[in-house]
Structure 1
Amino acid sequence: MTGRRAHGAALGTRMRAARVARGLGLRELAQQVGMSPSSLSEFEHGKSRPGPARLAALSAALEVPVEQEAPAPVVPAFGHWREYDALPVDPVSRAGLELFVERGYHGSTVRMIAERCGMTVAGVYHHVPSKHDLLVNLMRRAMGEMIARGEAARADADGPRERLANLVESLVLFHVHRMPWAYLATNEARALEGAAATEMLEARRRMRQIFEDVVVECRGGATQPGLVPDRVTARAIVTMTISIPDWYADGGRPDPDVLAAQYVALAEDMVYP
């Protein structure tokens, strides 16, 4: 399920609950906002999403606020999915990223961010509306690049086994070369609120689904006794990979390419009986 479909389903459910609470029939409300009953029903069941004008009319009629759809993630340009360059980051974002990794989101303040980047607090607020917005922007960028590189790695393969190897390698390399971003995306998601929390949850689910799809493809429907289910296997591969930032420095900072090859071997042992 895509993030947009999930968002639409949640909104449709809220609209239906508000309609029922007001004692409005489906046809009555549809006529009031200029929709067909069938279109309104599809929206309430998450099968479609009306345009902005109809959503505004429904919002006004039912007094249900309509959250803006999340903007598309800003994905840094990259040549090959294996190649990493330094990311251009503005001073406020860099200071926020460093502090959120060092002290945690809740342990960092806007004043600390201002001091770290040599600005006043007012200067920071000129660049970003709130500390939460800064966190959301950083996580969007991290998840956007992670998924984009994963999709590029998947496309750059011939056959299921190579797709699995490329996906694992891509995720390992991202968690080494973009370690602060990867750490933030994994460890501070709990600090997100409202629609941003849902947005990032859907991004994480999308990444897990990419791995589950390739595990299913590799196994070709194998169901022999003792075989760990596809979903569990995919989640185990992702989990062991996203934990790399937790031990990498203390583990001697192994060569990224060697580490990726080791993780590919582990993943293949988990996938193939």
Structure 2
Amino acid sequence: MTEHEVGAAVRRARVAKGLSLRRLAAELGVSPATLSALETGRAPVTVARLQRIAELVGIPAAVLMSGDVAAPAPIVDGHERTDRDWRRFDDVGLGPVLAASVRLFVRQGFHATSMRELATEAGVSVAGIYHHYPSKQHILVALMDVTMTEIRWRLLDARADGGTPVESLALMVESLALFHAVRGDLAFIGASEMRGMSGDDLARVTALRDEVQHLLDEQAALAFPGVEVRTACRAIATMCTALPSWFRVDGPLTPAQVAAEYARLAIRMLDDRAPDPSR
């Protein structure tokens, strides 16, 4: 990828996330002029800085490096969005190759999908895919990174919204369930295609998944001191990750309704395990 292509991908990701040039520059600790030069390909981007940008825009560095970042949605009422709402689901920023991969991996599985089929579905050449992704596993890893990045920032923002430890835990469960209800395609791939990865990629994605479980465990321990939360929290996480197997957006419940109900069930499950102070 050229510096111009990487810079253009950074700009698309920034605008899609609703960050102004000045805001992202401040977060990076650089001047707006420096960031502008990076986005226009007039200045190189270091690996460390690209990793930091990836964290701030919520798109994996590998995707930014590939340039496979979709153009942002139109600006509403002439204003860029500068807030971030874990209950809101905008375009996740997948480019044509990753979007096509999601459709095919859900429809027929990772191993049964060929690069030629991906190229046809994405409307690009096979060589065009290999230009961005050296192998099919690189595509799967990019999708896993997108999935875990989305889950993690939503979980952390939901936790921060809580006024008490119990409320924070309930909001975290709600955010996890909401993601699996709304982004069922990405969640399904994340749950069913781990076997398609190996080596360092598998270890890294596994660690990211473990971190989500640890965040739930830690918050549950704060919310219900003295309660053994490990088993209950694994049951809670499992019921959230199983949502794509049965939930349908055109069914009787909305994603918001099922997520709120899951949060209530989770708190009830842990509360029932708490010791009775009257005894």
How high is the TM-score relative to the length of structure 2? Answer: 0.67
Which residue in the other structure is 1:266 paired with? 265
Which residue does the alignment assign to 2:123? 118
Q: 1:100 aligns with which of 101, 105, 116?
A: 105
Specify whether residues 216 and 140 from structure 1 end up closer, same or farther in structure 2 by C-alpha distance, changes over 3 A only.
same
Aligned pairs (5 A) from 1:9-158: 75-76=58-59, 79-158=84-163
Query: Which residue of structure 2 aligns with residue 62 of structure 1?
Result: none
1:91/1:117 contact within 8 Å kept: yes
Q: State the partner residue of 2:40.
A: none
The separation in 2 between residues aligned to 1:209 and 1:233, in whole angstroms, is 13
Measure, in 2, the Cα distance between the counterparts of 1:232 and 1:199: 24
Q: Which runs of 5+ in 2 are unaligned?
A: 1-46, 60-81, 273-279
Question: How far has the Cα of 1:88 moved from its partner?
Answer: 2.5
Equivalent residues, number:
200
The answer to whether the 8 Å contact 2:147/2:190 transfers is: yes
Paired with 1:198 and 1:88, the residues of 2 have a C-alpha distance of 25
CA contact (8 A) 2:119 2:126 kept: yes
Alpha-carbon distance change, 78 to 197 in structure 1, aligned in 2, over 3 angstroms: farther
SS at match of 2:189: helix
Distance in 2 (CA, whole Å) between partners of 1:194 and 1:254 is 40
Structure 1 regions of 5+ residues with no counterpart?
A: 1-67, 223-228
In the TM superposition, residue 196 of structure 1 has moved relative to its aligned partner by 0.5
Matched, 1:172 2:177: yes
2:207 alignment partner, one of 202, 224, 228: 202
Largest Rg, 1 or 2: 1
**Aligned Cα RMSD in Å?**
2.3
Partners of 2:150 and 2:252 lie apart in 1 by 22
Q: Are 2:219 and 1:220 equivalent residues in the alignment?
A: no
**Paired residue type of 2:193:** E
- What is the TM-score of this pair, normalised by structure 1? 0.68
Q: Which moved more, 1:204-213 or 1:76-85?
A: 76-85
- 1:251 deviation in Å? 8.6
Q: Distance in 2 between matches of 1:162 and 1:261?
A: 12
Whole-Å Cα distance in 2 between the matches of residues 237 and 129 of structure 1? 37
| CA distance, structure 2, for counterparts of residue 220 and residue 234 of structure 1 | 14
* Other-structure match for 2:187: 182
More divergent stretch after superposition (198-207 vs 213-222): 213-222
Q: What are the superposed Cα offsets for residues 70-101 of structure 1, whole Å, 9 maximum, x if unpaired?
A: x6765159711111112222111111111111
Q: Distance in 2 between matches of 1:261 and 1:149?
A: 15
Give, as a single letter, the amino acid of the residue that structure 2 aligns with 1:268.
I
Counterpart in the other structure of 2:166: 161
Q: What is the one-letter code of the residue matched to 1:238? A: A
Q: Does 1:245 align with 2:244?
A: yes
- Secondary structure in 1 aligned to 2:208? helix
Q: Offset at 1:172?
A: 1.3
Pairwise CA distance, 1:148: 0.8
Q: 2:196 corresponds to which residue? A: 191
Mapped to 1, the partners of 2:214 and 2:250 lie a distance apart of 29
For 1:230-263, what per-residue CA distance to the aligned partner results, in whole angstroms no more than 9, with x for missing partners? 1111111000001000101299262112111211
* Deviation sequence 1:112-160 (CA, Å, 0-9, x none): 1011012221121112111000110111011011011101111111111
Tell me the distance in 2 between the aligned counterparts of 1:138 and 1:198: 15
Q: Take 1:156 and 1:90, find their aligned partners in 2: how far apart are those partners?
A: 31
Counterpart for residue 67 of structure 2: none
